[in-house]
Amino acid sequence: MIIKFSSDFIPGTTYTIHIDYEGDIIRDLNGLYISDYVDINGQDGIFMASQMEPTYARGVFPCVDEPARKAIFIINIIHDSSYAVWSNGEIDRTETLSDGRIVTHFTPTLNMSTFLLAFIMAPKSDFACRPHLLINSKNITSRICGRADILSQLAYADEVAYKVLEFFNTYFDIDYPLPKIEHFAVPDFGGGAMENYGLLIYTEVGLFFDEKTVSASRKQDITLLIAHEIAHQWFGNLVSPAWWNELWLKEGFATYMETLAADSVEPLWMQEEQFIVNKIFEFIEADSLPTSRPISIQSTNPADIFQLYDSITYEKGATVIRMMSMFLGAETFQSINFWLGNTTAVMEIYERCCQ
C-alpha cells in the first residue's frame, strides 16, 4: 500500500492516519478465521479465532507487518450478545447498541509486534473459562479457557500454566508485564500454539488430559508446550526479533527454556538431561542433508519465511542458546536486561556476549 500526501511532512509534527477498510474472515486457519466445532449435543457451531504470525496481520487490517515495528493497539469488538470475546487486553467495559449487539472495549495492549495480536469470539453457551488463579501477590491472573464440556480435562494444563509463570517470574527476576494471561484451547488451529501477549492460543489436543483415556506421557507434552509459549512472553514478545531471519533466536530460546521450566514442574522428568536425545537428535539428521540450510536466512519473501519453521530453527536454535547459557553463566543468562530491547538482532547478541 502506498499513501500519497498533498504536501511535505513538517519536522516534529505528529500525523494521524484514519483508514476505513473491510477485510475477509476466512477458513484457512490464518489471519482472522472462522471454523466449526460440534457441541455437547452434537450440534454444529462456529467460532472465530486468529493467527497473525508470521505475516498474516497485513491481511486483517492495514499495518506495517514487520516484527520490529511495534505499536499499541486499542481493540473494540462489536458482536452478537450470545457470543463472548477475548483479546490481548482485559475487558475494560461493554456497551449495548440500539440493535441489541454488544461493543466490548479492551484495555490498550503493550507496545508489541503485529504478529502478537489476537482475537477469539465464541458462543457463550459452549465456551467458558476455568476460575482464574492469582500469581502470588503480583495481581497477575492466569486461567485456561475452551469448550465448556472439556474444562475438566484442561485442569492439568491450568495447574501447569500457573506453575510455569511463577517459575519464569522468578527465573528472569522480571514479572510478566500484563495483569492477565489466558490460555485458550480452540477446536481448530493452524499450529500447535501461539504466544500472543495476554491470549495464548492452542489446539484442544495440545492441552487435553484425561487420565482415563490419555497416557501419562501426555503430561510432559502439555508441560513443554505451555512452557514454550510462556517463555515467549519474555523472549519473542518483550524482546522481539529484528527480522524473521532471527526467528531462531526467539524459537530457540523458548525451546531451550521449556526444558528448564518442565524440570521445575516435575524434576523427575529430567528434561535437561535428555536435551541431547530430545533436541539435538531432532535436528541433526536434517542438518546433515545436502538440503540443509543456515540457521539464519535473510529474505523478505513470505514464502521463504514460512519455510523457517522447522527443526533447524527450533532444536538447533535451542542448542545454540543452551551453549550460550553455559559460557555466559547463569547470572548473566538469566538477566533479561542482558537481552532487553525493543528488538534483538543476532550481531547485537554476539557483541554483548563478547564484552
Dihedral through CA 239, CA 192, CA 197, CA 157, nearest 10?
-110
Q: According to the annotation, is 232 in a ligand binding site? A: yes
| Catalytic (active site) residue 195 | no
d(C-alpha 62, C-alpha 222), whole Å: 35
Q: According to the annotation, is 251 in a ligand binding site? A: yes
Active-site option among 66, 229, 258, 282: 229
User: What per-residue string of b and e applies to 151-188 under the rule 16 or more CB within 10 Å gives b?
Assistant: bebbebbbbbbbbbbbbbbebbeeebebebbbbbbbbe
Q: At what angle do helices 247-265 and 155-172 cross, to 10 degrees?
A: 110
Grid cell in block for residue 320 = 545454540
Q: According to the annotation, is 228 in a ligand binding site? A: yes
CA-based nearest residue to 271, from 280, 261, 283: 261
d(C-alpha 322, C-alpha 216), whole Å: 27
* Number of residues assigned to the chain: 355
DSSP-H helix ranges across the chain: 155-172, 204-207, 217-231, 247-265, 275, 281-288, 302-306, 311, 317-328, 330-334, 336-339, 346-353
Grid cell in block for residue 276 = 541431547
Q: How far is CA 68 from CA 8, 171, 216, 248, in A?
A: 26, 26, 40, 15
Give yes or no for a contact between 129 and 109, defined as CB atoms under 8 angstroms apart. no
Q: How far is CA 125 from CA 182, 184, 262, in A?
A: 19, 16, 34
Q: How far is CA 319 from CA 176, 207, 210, 277, 322, in A?
A: 25, 26, 33, 12, 5
235: DSSP letter: B
Annotated binding site for Zn(2+): 228, 232, 251
Annotated binding site: 228, 232, 251
Catalytic residues: 229
